[in-house]
Structure 1
Amino acid sequence: MSERCGWCGSEEIYVNYHDTEWGVPEYESRALWEKLILDGFQAGLSWITILKKRDAFREAFDGFDPNIIAGWGEPEVLRLLDNPGIVRHRGKIEATIGNARAWQKIEQQQGFDKFLWTYFDGKPLQNQWTKLAEVPAFTPLSTQISKDLKKAGFRFCGPTIVYAFAQACGLINDHLVTCPCHAEVAAMAR
């Protein structure tokens, strides 16, 4: 019998996210950057908290346009710290500005999408987990990507954040094999 991954529970916003977004391969640089930033904001919180605030984040961060955010400074940090619709954490907000600048460098050199997908030889890693307990929190690969992102100037991108990001963006298919989304997501791979 097939059933969706148990981590998403039964709340509609979470189930919809699981069924339509999580694990779907993302190939667009800006969208990948947005998801990495949101995963960084999630550190220490639950993903559903970020998911419920995602629209407010998008509005507050100008649609997550890294080319706009890269030019921000203290006035924008103060504006965001005063915004109750987002997670108001100075370190994460400042990291987002720095991460936008780091994204610009990688985007100019090779493309942020290519930078990330190179670790996976251009196609999603297809895991075959049967139980949530089998799914790791991080791997040697997420640790290496984290180190390389930090070397490039990124912050709030530790191995666990990077692994969650890779799952969310479909770099890794971690839907359980018993979940109907596993086969659907696997079929979307380029």
Structure 2
Amino acid sequence: MAETLIRCGWRGMAGDPLYEAYHDTEWGVPEYDSRALWEKLVLDGFQAGLAWITILRKREAFRAAFDNFDPETVARYGEADRARLMADAGIIRSNAKIDAAINSAKIYLAMKDAGEDFSDFCWNFTGGKPIQNRWGEDGNVPAQTPLAEAVAKALKAKGFKFVGPVIVYAWMQAVGMVNDHQTTCFRHAPVKAMGA
């Protein structure tokens, strides 16, 4: 008889193969690639007001629509691209979120041109290593933290939009800046080991 894996207690995850695979292989794994960090920040911005599973189900459509989140390409988007994106039923069609994504590509490139690596900027808040939390129950995991507030403030100061502390904390969890797998979850220890 197969062993039952104990996962974090996310609402709606049990039995959803896409959601379970995301939890089991990606969520919380430390990400240091600048472009990948930026892509995930943009996607978390699109999540504002929605459930993450909605974005996860549309992620490949987002990647196709946004030229695989190549900042150089996205930064050059004009009115025709905005109209194309607003007509794309495969993604979240919001003028404000689309504009924020395009603008964030420009900010990303401006940082790069100024010699500021996006990954270094992000990971500097945790000293370059993941914060290892020990949540025993899913209900104990906060929606935001003082650190997320500080990161959100710094991102807003750069000009990023849809980067409030709740969105930023969800992003920090996703990219492994914090390990918020429950201690009872089978992924807690392996993810912790990745940050050692």
Q: How does 1:25-64 map to 2 (within 5 A)?
A: 25-64=30-69
Please report the TM-score for the alignment, with normalisation by the length of structure 1: 0.97
In the TM superposition, structure 1's runs of 4+ consecutive aligned residues that sit over 6 Å from their partners are none
Q: What residue number does 2:192 align with?
A: 186
- Give me the whole-angstrom Cα distance separating, in 2, the residues matched to 1:150 and 1:107: 17
Deviations 1:114-166 (A, max 9, x none): 00000000000000000111100001111111111011010011100000000
**Number of residues of Structure 1 aligned to a counterpart in Structure 2:** 190
Alpha-carbon offset, residue 9 of structure 1: 2.6
Q: What residue number does 1:4 align with?
A: 7
Gaps of 5+ in 2: none
- Percent identity over the alignment? 53
Larger mean CA deviation between 124-133 and 68-77 belongs to: 68-77
Q: What residue number does 1:124 align with?
A: 130
- Give me the whole-angstrom Cα distance separating, in 1, the residues matched to 2:194 and 2:158: 30
CA contact (8 A) 1:81 1:88 kept: yes
Alpha-carbon offset, residue 10 of structure 1: 2.2
Please report the TM-score for the alignment, with normalisation by the length of structure 2: 0.94
- Give me the whole-angstrom Cα distance separating, in 2, the residues matched to 1:136 and 1:144: 15
- Give me the whole-angstrom Cα distance separating, in 1, the residues matched to 2:78 and 2:104: 13
Q: How does 1:17-96 map to 2 (within 5 A)?
A: 17-96=22-101
- Give me the whole-angstrom Cα distance separating, in 2, the residues matched to 1:15 and 1:126: 22
- Give me the whole-angstrom Cα distance separating, in 2, the residues matched to 1:122 and 1:129: 22
Gaps of 5+ in 1: none
CA contact (8 A) 1:2 1:178 kept: no
CA contact (8 A) 1:129 1:176 kept: yes
CA RMSD of aligned residues (A): 1.2
- Give me the whole-angstrom Cα distance separating, in 2, the residues matched to 1:147 and 1:140: 11
Given residue 85 of structure 1, which amino acid in structure 2 is its aligned partner? G
